[in-house]
Amino acid sequence: MKKLIMGLTVAGILVANPIIGKAALGDQTLKYGMSHSDVKQLQQKLKSKGYYTYSKNTTYFGTYTRDAVKRLQKAKGLKADGIVGKNTFKALGLGNAPNSPRIATQNTSALISTAKKYIGVQYVWGGQSPKGFDCSGYLNYVYQKSSNIDLPRTVAGIYLKGTKISAPKVGDLVFFETYKPGASHAGIYLGNNEFIHSSSSRGVSISSMKNPYWAPRYLGAKKLN
């Protein structure tokens, strides 16, 4: 009985605080010897820039990752200590500058209007059109239609773009960890703790960040620069 009460208490905290969950890449310093899902995201980012050449991505921060970080740091004129902190994240394009004005790369009203046009469209694995969308296919279609912005095809790829923010604003992307480690689902934040997305169970629909399914799976939010 005691265990049940504790479990319900924890679940209640997660639902009441949907932003609590796993941190987004850039929220914590990464260094040699760590094991964390952020390390895998870091390796993917380093690989996209040509610094990480090992064939596999893992959650362990080992010698290959440290050497790749050092190469990046040397190329950017930073102290080559292999530790990924604020300046190294910025060199990777992941730095968060909360006091800087947002660069308008999209018309938020057009984005939200376009996104809502497709409410009710069914979920189709691999779908990229109004005949059926999967999660990332929906985001790709909406951003291209409303803002002429091309996004990576997968959620993991989209997660590597943009700038991490502590709390989402209307039009920002919100990410979740669902069927595999790391970002595997995403939607567009609408405000008032709601986001629009293509759900495998409901198709294009609006969900609450406080929903007991989504709240504990929340990874973080990003704005597109």
Kindly report the number of other CB atoms within 10 A of residue 9's CB atom.
10
Backbone φ and ψ of 141, nearest 5°: -65, -45
Q: Could you give the residue numbers annotated as active site? A: 135, 185, 197
What would the two tokens of residue 106 be? 């999209």
Across the chain, the runs of DSSP E, i.e. the strands, are: 128-129, 132-133, 163-165, 173-176, 185-191, 194-199, 203-208, 218-223
CB atoms within 10 A of CB 78: 16
Which DSSP string do the residues of 108-156 spell out, in sequence order? HHHHHHHHHHTTTPPB-TT-EETTEE-HHHHHHHHHHHHH--PPPSSHH
The count of C-alpha atoms lying within 13 angstroms of the C-alpha of 111, restricted to the half-sphere facing its C-beta, is 23
